[in-house]
Every structure is written in C-alpha cells, then in structure tokens.
Amino acid sequence: MTSNVHPFKHQAPDDERPAEGTRRIIDEQERVYYDGYWIKTYPVPEDTLDAKKRLIEALTRRLFNHTEHGLNVPGTRLAEARQCYQAESDPARKRVKGAMLAGSLFNRATDIFRKLVELQAAGVEIRSDDALMRECGRCLLEAMELGRLVLHRSGEEGIDELWGEPFRAFSIPLEDFFESRYIKIGQSMRDIDRIAEAMVANFTRIPAFSDIEAPIRDFVDAAKIKTEILRTDPDIFDVWALFVTAAERLANFTPQAAPVGTLKHSVSDGLQLIRSGRDLVFNIARARTPMPKSTRDYIVRCEIYLETGWSPMIPAPLPA
C-alpha cells in the first residue's frame, strides 16, 4: 500500500473508556472520545458572520449532494415552490414538492446570509435581531421541518440530521456545532461497525464466503477514516483512494467453489447482499451521519440469508 494514511484503531477497550467528550493527543493528533471511538478533531474557526456563512454554504452543498435529485431549487423561486406545494393534493407528489420547497428555503437562507456578510464587510453593523437575520433563521427552521419529507439519494431513508445542520450552524456557537458533529461521527462509526459485524457473523458461516472477513475489515477500517476526515484535509487524497480501492476489493470478492449438490446458499444473492452492505457503509461514511433504519434492515437481511439461503429483495419488516 503506497498510501501515507494508516488505519487507526478508533475503538477504545471497554476497560479504558473515558468520559464522553474527553480529548487526548494520540500519535501527535488531537482526538475526542464519543460513543466508544477516538475521533480526529479540527480547529474551530473564529465565530464570525463570515465563518457562519461559509459553513452554511458548505452544509447546503453537502445536503444536496446526499439527498434525492431535483431539490436544489433557487431561492428566487421560493414563492413559486411554496404555491406548488400548497396546491398539490396527491400525497406522493406533495412529498416531492415539499422536498423541493425545503431546498428553495435553504437556498434563500444562504442568499440572505451572503448579502448580510457583504453588508458587514461594507461597515454596516448587523445585529442578531436584524430583520434579515430573523428571516434567515425562519427559512432554515422551516426547511428543517420539511426535511422529514426528503429521502437519501439511495432512496432507503431520510437523513434528518443533514437538514438540521445548517439551522444549528446558524443558531449556536461554532464550537458547539463542531462538537455536535463529532457526536454524529461517533454514531456513524458505530453503525458502520454494526454492519461489518453482521456481515462477518453471517457470511463467514457459509462455506462459499468463509474468506470474506479480511476484505470486510479492510473496507470498514477505511470507511471509519473517511467518516472522520474533512474534504479540506491534506490527507483526503490518500484517504479517498484507500476507501475506494477497499470498496472495490470487497465488491469483487470471489466466492469459493462448492462441490456440486452441496451448495445451500444462492451465491448470486450473497454477492448482491455484500454489495448492498458495501453501498450502505459507503453512504454513511460519505454523509458522516448514521442511517439507523437502513442499518437495522440490512442486519435482518443478512440473518435471513444465513437462515434461508436467499436474500430478500427488499428489507424485511421489523418487529413493532
């Protein structure tokens, strides 16, 4: 491996787990402890209007990157988007139009914040109770409430946390916002490990997939590094390459041949289920946000495959 990034053992042993939020320097890097994981930290920018604007712009781009297509409606079309949403009577179409309205509200809030920063740069004092500041907060809050209508780009579930992030960045100190992100990263790593454990526990008990553990572990280690790293980090080139190539190796896993008449599990179903797990971990790591429903459903699918030899095409219903 030519990468300069080496897998870091994020999890702390049970008997060494410190209090949540504990910070330590580990291998010359500050890390913070949440949910059983040591997570890489980054310097918090000065809490200014300009810093908030740049953060909200980045969070909005990130939001549209991970949600279903067609939601990046310009803020200039807010009135039109709202009218179409309110006039729609079909529930399915109303959900989509509500998601489009949420996108327009986010863009309107970003437009307002951008202008406020320009005014501030021109020497105009911007108070927290300014009418435009209140309008910006109102747009972000309404968009967050509509976020429940929006699905992840995979179509599996919504990621409400992404819709709440711009509002939190607007309404709380940046230091508190960064801390909240570390908490979500810890939760994301937890879901990634749960998926990996389900894959290992179920697939290694099937002869055709008995050698699957190593590529699963390699992929999960790379995924957790990707989850904690920012795109602006100098290591992103090595981290992304490590992550993608580990995903490719897992997807290209070759099952062992079984004697004729002894195969009890559908190999094609197993390979498809492995790729589905790869895709789910990929989505969680990129969004840096847990996907609890999809994680639970996937674990059930692995268990059903081990028991029956077949993988359900859709997630099995969970007990109430």
- What pTM was computed for the model? 0.79
Domain range for residue 258?
A: 184-308
Question: Tell me, what's the pLDDT at 156?
Answer: 66
Cα separation, 125 vs 20, whole angstroms? 39
Question: Tell me, what's the pLDDT at 233?
Answer: 93
* pLDDT tens string 74-102: 999 999 999 999 999 999 999 999 989 99
Residues 6+ apart with CB under 8 A from 261: none
Residue-by-residue DSSP string for 158-189: --HHHHHHHHHHHHS-HHHHHHHHHHHHHHHH
Question: Tell me, what's the pLDDT at 100?
Answer: 92
Residue 4 placed within a domain: no
Question: Tell me, what's the pLDDT at 319?
Answer: 36
| CB-based burial label for 251 (10 Å; 0-12, 13-18, 19+) | middle
Comparing CA positions, the residue from 75, 163, 146 lying closest to residue 115 is 75
Residue 30 placed within a domain: no
Per DSSP, the chain holds a count of helices (H) and strands (E) of 10, 3
Domain boundary among 138, 171, 204: 171
Domain boundary among 171, 199, 231: 171
Same structural domain, 158 and 197: no
Residue 83 placed within a domain: yes
- Cα dihedral sign, 26-28-32-37: negative
Cα separation, 298 vs 292, whole angstroms? 10
Residue-by-residue DSSP string for 22-77: -EEEETTEEEEEETTEEEE--PPPP--HHHHHHHHHHHHHHHHHHBPTT----GGG
Cα separation, 308 vs 269, whole angstroms? 11
Question: Tell me, what's the pLDDT at 318?
Answer: 36
* pLDDT tens string 191-200: 999 999 999 9
Amino acid identity, residue 209?
A: F
Same structural domain, 191 and 302: yes
Question: For residues 132 and 46, is the Cβ–Cβ distance under 8 A?
Answer: no
Question: Tell me, what's the pLDDT at 155?
Answer: 59
Same structural domain, 253 and 285: yes
pLDDT value at 320 more than 60:
no
Same structural domain, 80 and 156: yes
* pLDDT tens string 33-43: 999 999 999 99
Same structural domain, 53 and 165: yes
Where does the pLDDT of residue 2 fall: very low under 50, low under 70, confident under 90, or very high at 90 and above? very low
- Give strand pairing partners of 268: none
Question: Tell me, what's the pLDDT at 159?
Answer: 64
Residue 39 placed within a domain: no
Question: For residues 40 and 31, is the Cβ–Cβ distance under 8 A?
Answer: yes
Question: Tell me, what's the pLDDT at 261?
Answer: 57
Residue 29 placed within a domain: no
The domain tally of the chain equals: 2
